[in-house]
Amino acid sequence: MNARRALLPLGFFTVAILAWQAAVLHSGQRALYPYPTGVFEAATRTIEDGSLFAATSQSLLRVLIGFALGAAFGIPLGVLMGFVRPVGRAVSPIVDSLRSIAPIAWIPMALLWLGIRGNAALFIVAYAAFFPFVVNAAQGARLIDRNLVNAARALGAGRALVVRSVVLPNALPAILTGARISMAFAWGSIIAAELAMGIKVTSGGSGAVGLGQLMVSTLYVRRDVNGLVLYMIVIGVISFLIDLAMRRLQRSLTPWRT
Amino acid sequence: MSDAAQVVLAPPPRAGVAGRRLTRVLEIVVALAVVVGLWQVTSITINNSTLLPSPARVFHAWLDLLHADLRQDVLASLAHLGIGYALGIATGLALAAISTRFALLESIVDPLIELLRPISAIAWIPIAILMFGISAGVPVFLIFYASLFPIFVNTVAGVKQVDAKLVHAAQMLGASRRMILTHVVMPAALPYVLAGARLSLGVAWMAMVAAELTGSDAGLGWRLFWYQEFFAMDKVMAVILTIGVLGYCFDTLLRALQARITRWSPDSVVDEAR
């Protein structure tokens, strides 16, 4: 039974891929439809000329900077909102209303403020990464056992010490959950921002081209369907790896929480 | 690992004392006043109505738009959202139904979903443009694709967490298959399904804006770049705020609906903090 369970999907997908390949080759319209070996060729070509790695690392770099910015602003604000109730009540409507704006909607303003050199995309990513941090850090800090805080106070701990050794460790699991969501959201947003920028502004061979811009030029300039599918797969693999890494991090930093 | 595994329990609602409600409203008003005030001060300091239009300008632009294009754009966006979301929810529920019912199909559907799920809707935009051209097809397809996964994952998780003892008890008391489904499994899974529907709408909204920006010829997202062409940044800001307000309204609406429908269930707050 178990062997059959594993064999069935494996067989199904093998047959599906072979059928896909055969169908496209037989239709005689290889330029119109993507097909497995074509995607593989696109992969070897873009890896050899280095364009895939260059674009991917550009996008990843922006995601990491945006993520760090989101964490740097989001965690302190979230902890403050969760720990000091009046602040939380006052700020959360603001956060909620700004959170409802899809990050990508800011792209026209971001292009105006920061230019097309990639900083506009950075703004979108940081905006996207900021809110999961705020919401989850606030949640984590709010649900802290007040007895722990009071006990620390009674034993003579000052405000700074309470925050550092009671609030932060207790909010850490929630903050890490926020970090995971944030990272996933940031990765989706960078692609959206780069696509929008690529469609809006033809970046004439500037060095700051990310995966999104590469997709736009593949679509409109090279008209290479296989390349598009390849980039989609790359995007999927990276978000899978990001999620895996964030879960690992979560498990190793907060082992007491299964 | 499913997303529904992240269960966050909200604190119990406080007693609805009128005075407390008034303070809540006051807090929101003060918060909004502070934001608008800061925005006003910044725009005065910058003193460039293109770089940062003042709140008053944006409000006037919004009033102007209300009588002109805005209604049309909102309707176009809502049409994209309605069609795509309905298709996504229906497909997600159907896939969840067959994969929880037939173990054989689950072994095919499940890996397929897990393979596609990491590929975000956004990544499909170029292919969607190729398939549909610059048209309503792009946002509809993206909304469909984005809303498919949360509802599927949550529904499957909801059906799997149904207490087997309840099912066995119903069986022992002579309930038919159909009766078990409608009286035991469906009510028990409902909170998860609703949470999934709300998550789906959230991601669908984001996908909609991105798709309209890049591959559509109508809708709120498309309007953003349209006004940018004319450097009418006050109008751009008005559209951005409209997107935010509408997104907020949808989320609040579904949240209220969720709480009302599954009031009886302690799981009615099953959710993943976004």
B84 is written with which tokens? Answer: 């795509």
pLDDT in tens, A191-215: 999 898 888 776 555 556 888 888 9
pLDDT in tens, B25-53: 887 788 788 888 999 999 888 888 888 89
pLDDT in tens, B140-170: 999 999 999 999 999 999 998 888 899 899 9
Question: Angle, nearest 10°, between helix axes B103-116 and B137-160?
Answer: 130
- Is A145 touching B (CB cutoff 8 A)? no
Nearest CA in chain B to A234: B119
Set of chain B residues whose Cβ sits within 8 Å of the Cβ of A113: 51
A72/chain B closest Cα distance in angstroms? 18
- Is A58 touching B (CB cutoff 8 A)? no
Set of chain B residues whose Cβ sits within 8 Å of the Cβ of A100: 243-245, 247-248, 251
Nearest CA in chain A to B129: A219
* Beta-carbon separation of A100 and B210 below 8 A: no
Set of chain A residues whose Cβ sits within 8 Å of the Cβ of B239: 105
Set of chain A residues whose Cβ sits within 8 Å of the Cβ of B35: 94
* Beta-carbon separation of B127 and A228 below 8 A: yes
- Partner-chain residue, chosen from A103, A200, A232, that has the shortest CB–CB distance to B119: A232
Nearest CA in chain B to A34: B127
Instruction: Report the amino acid identity of residue B38.
Output: L
**Is residue B58 scored above 70 in pLDDT?**
yes
Topology (CATH) of A42-253: MetI-like fold (1.10.3720)
Task: Catalogue all structural domains in chain B, each as residue range(s) with its CATH number.
Answer: 59-269 (1.10.3720.10)
* Beta-carbon separation of B273 and A102 below 8 A: no
Q: Identify the residue with better confidence: B96 or B13.
A: B96
Residues A138/A82, Cβ–Cβ less than 8 Å? yes
- Is A10 touching B (CB cutoff 8 A)? no
**Is residue B208 scored above 80 in pLDDT?**
yes
pLDDT in tens, B222-266: 999 889 888 888 999 999 999 998 998 998 898 888 888 877 765
Residues B220/B156, Cβ–Cβ less than 8 Å? no
Nearest CA in chain B to A225: B127
Query: What one-character-per-residue DSSP string does chain A give?
Result: -HHHHHHHHHHHHHHHHHHHHHHHHHHT-TTTS--HHHHHHHHHHHHHSSHHHHHHHHHHHHHHHHHHHHHHHHHHHHHHHHHSHHHHHHHHHHHHHHHTS-GGGGHHHHHHHH-TTTHHHHHHHHHHHHHHHHHHHHHHHHTS-HHHHHHHHHTT--HHHHIIIIIHHHHHHHHHHHHHHHHHHHHHHHHHHHHHHHHHS---S-TT--HHHHHHHIIIII--HHHHHHHHHHHHHHHHHHHHHHHHHHHHH-TT--
- Partner-chain residue, chosen from B107, B123, B239, that has the shortest CB–CB distance to A236: B123
- Partner-chain residue, chosen from B28, B118, B224, that has the shortest CB–CB distance to A236: B118
